[in-house]
Structure 1
Amino acid sequence: MTHLTRRSALKTTAAGLATAFLGTLSGFDSKQPPLAFSTLGCPKWDLDTILKTAVSAGYQAVEFRGLAGELDLTKSPAFNTASKARETRTRFADRGIRICNLGSSAQLHHADAGKSAKNLDEARRFIDLAQQLDCPYVRVFPDQLPADQSREATLQLISDGLLTLGDHAKNSSVAVLLESHGELTRSDLLIQIMQAAKHPKVGLIWDIFNMWADAHEAPAEVYQKLKPYIRHVHVKDARLANGKHQYVLLGQGDAPLREAIDSLKAGKYEGYYSFEWEKLWHPDIAEPELAIPHYPKAMKAYF
């Protein structure tokens, strides 16, 4: 049994007060959630701008989805050799910023052997790079339900691909995460995939907006179903009009973010809340110089 002395009690109380005080200073009512942003939102920024913004805006991590126009990170000059990867990792670590996820373009739904091999090869290269960067996650896509093959066959292909990649990562510190994306945003289909791909190195990215806008499922229900698999979260907001959505700054759209974030908080989620501003795909939306610094400030309303 541990005996609580008067001195240790005072230390414990002081530590608690200090934590609460720091939380109040930062604008959060509790421990600040770990925040990241995806470089999808700043496709023209160089490494220096990304790192400087992450530090000055109050982020804890960066999620790389391409760099300066190159989506295949293994070909980027900042990552294409072991020494360059080590140098980049050190630059970020020295400023207190972690590289938390690498977003590959790998798709796992392909029945064609050549296409499947090409996509799996890309994912393997990303896993190897993530290990060099001390990065915990690599993102892959499901991604489609082709009309010329059965749904069950497609789901099995995706599950088998995840198991293959999980085995590739088994001796590393990296996990492979399937994102709720494309034609696979329904929780029942994702559960089927994840149950068939049960592996300690396989998990899920919950894109809150994708699942709400495409599958029309309430976030609280989605979270309860997918909680065992969720390791990373993508956050964005948009307004819906005539069946289409227009991305807007966080808190200014229709996405039920409070319901989703409250569910994550209640479920003791401790992963990153990563801002995915889709500037690369939607060049007309707000510039990253506005959107990326805005996100940490806007997130305070949910904590």
Structure 2
Amino acid sequence: MKVHYNRRSFLKQTAIGITTLGIPYPLSVFAREKYKLSFSTLGCPKWSFKEIVDFAAKHNYQGIEIRGIQGEMDLTKCPAFSKENIKNSIKLVKNSGLEIVGLGSSAKMHIKEEVLRKKNLDEAKQFIDLANQLGCKAVRVFPDKLPATSSRQETMDLISAGLAELGNYAQGGKVKILLESHGDLVYADDIRSVLNHVDHKNVALIWDVFNMWVKTKESPANVYAKLKPYIQHVHLKDGMLNNGKIKYVLFGTGEGPALEAVKLLDQSGYKGFYSFEWEKAWHPEIDEPEVAFPHFVKQMRG
């Protein structure tokens, strides 16, 4: 009987065989298995969906996090996910050995004004529907700068209420609503307060390590101790601070504590994705994805 192995199975079987024979082997033999890596499409704003998938597969990523394609941030309007093309797009991802690990919406949870709030919640619900079609298990939402016209607690309650509404909407499928640590909601105690208040099985957290550290300087150990139960997904990036301004740099070459956070997560048995968020779409001056994406893999596999 002929047995077929994909690359991942081959590496695993090779590593097991080498270990059984007592032969030393480099860590890279199953480094691919150690961490599940993805990148956000913010890092490649000019690429087509096929270019995104092909590059991820070629450079040893296991997933892609979709935050816009070729400048279109509303994924429900992207040609790759149209009624005519969505099945072929799903097939392309599957045949490449990849997973769509999350859809990044632009839905803001801190909005108070009724019409605009409904618009943001409706966008998130459309992304949940699309995620269910794609077999994707997560939709990202976020808070931004909290308004000065309301008390902090009032705005945090609004965020909790929005998350609960979306969690209820998602209950019929497998999609989780992931709040990204972002904007003014970056202190661990505040985030814990919001998620405690929601207390919904369909609501969890994206821990953006750099977003939090750059504003709060809280250590990853302190953050992780408070937020561990909620962390479903991790965003990684790096940068240098100069007079309060951030200059994004290749992963592992800046001042951020991302590698410390990875060590904590690894030691505690975290099994989710580490997603590289290279914000090329917002900062066109930073390195091209052809440089930054392979560098991230090299750093994480090293």
Cα distance change, pair 76–159 in 1 and its aligned pair in 2 (3 A): same
- 1:51 maps to what in 2? 53
Alpha-carbon distance between aligned partners in 1 of 2:96 and 2:135, rounded to the nearest angstrom: 15
Alpha-carbon distance between aligned partners in 2 of 1:250 and 1:287, rounded to the nearest angstrom: 13
Cα distance change, pair 50–14 in 1 and its aligned pair in 2 (3 A): closer
Question: Structure 1: which amino acid aligns with 2:281?
Answer: L
Alpha-carbon distance between aligned partners in 2 of 1:135 and 1:164, rounded to the nearest angstrom: 19
- 1:7 maps to what in 2? none
Cα distance change, pair 26–285 in 1 and its aligned pair in 2 (3 A): farther
Alpha-carbon distance between aligned partners in 1 of 2:277 and 2:25, rounded to the nearest angstrom: 27
Post-superposition Cα deviations, 1:36-73, rounded to whole Å, max 9, x if no partner, equal 00000000001121111101110000000000110000
Contact 1:85 1:129 in 2 (8 A): no
Q: Within the alignment, does 1:296 sit opposite 2:297 as a pair?
A: yes
SS of alignment partner, residue 128 of structure 1: helix
- 1:157 maps to what in 2? 158
Alignment of 1:1-303 (within 5 A): 14=16, 17=19, 24-26=27-29, 28=31, 31-81=33-83, 83-301=84-302
Contact 1:103 1:138 in 2 (8 A): yes
- 2:4 maps to what in 1? none
Post-superposition Cα deviations, 1:205-261, rounded to whole Å, max 9, x if no partner, equal 000001100121101110111000000000001111111111111111111122111
C-alpha RMSD over aligned residues: 1.9
Cα distance change, pair 118–252 in 1 and its aligned pair in 2 (3 A): same
Contact 1:27 1:300 in 2 (8 A): no
Calculate percent identity across the aligned residue pairs: 48
Q: Give, in angstroms, the shift of residue 80 of structure 1.
A: 3.0
Alpha-carbon distance between aligned partners in 2 of 1:251 and 1:64, rounded to the nearest angstrom: 23
Question: Structure 2: which amino acid aligns with 1:57?
Answer: H
Alpha-carbon distance between aligned partners in 2 of 1:237 and 1:58, rounded to the nearest angstrom: 20
Q: Give, in angstroms, the shift of residue 15 of structure 1.
A: 6.4
Contact 1:23 1:32 in 2 (8 A): no
Contact 1:64 1:102 in 2 (8 A): yes
The runs of 5 or more residues in structure 1 that have no matched partner are 1-10
Alpha-carbon distance between aligned partners in 2 of 1:15 and 1:32, rounded to the nearest angstrom: 18
SS of alignment partner, residue 227 of structure 1: helix
Cα distance change, pair 220–15 in 1 and its aligned pair in 2 (3 A): farther
Alpha-carbon distance between aligned partners in 2 of 1:201 and 1:144, rounded to the nearest angstrom: 25
Alpha-carbon distance between aligned partners in 2 of 1:197 and 1:23, rounded to the nearest angstrom: 45
- 1:3 maps to what in 2? none
Contact 1:179 1:205 in 2 (8 A): yes
Contact 2:143 2:183 in 1 (8 A): yes
Alpha-carbon distance between aligned partners in 1 of 2:103 and 2:80, rounded to the nearest angstrom: 13
Q: Give, in angstroms, the shift of residue 26 of structure 1.
A: 3.8
Q: Give, in angstroms, the shift of residue 31 of structure 1.
A: 3.9
Alpha-carbon distance between aligned partners in 1 of 2:49 and 2:16, rounded to the nearest angstrom: 40
Q: Give, in angstroms, the shift of residue 88 of structure 1.
A: 1.0
TM-score, length-normalised on structure 2?
0.91
Contact 1:23 1:31 in 2 (8 A): no
- 1:4 maps to what in 2? none
Q: Give, in angstroms, the shift of residue 14 of structure 1.
A: 4.7
Q: Give, in angstroms, the shift of residue 21 of structure 1.
A: 7.6
The runs of 5 or more residues in structure 2 that have no matched partner are 1-12
SS of alignment partner, residue 229 of structure 2: coil
TM-score, length-normalised on structure 1?
0.90
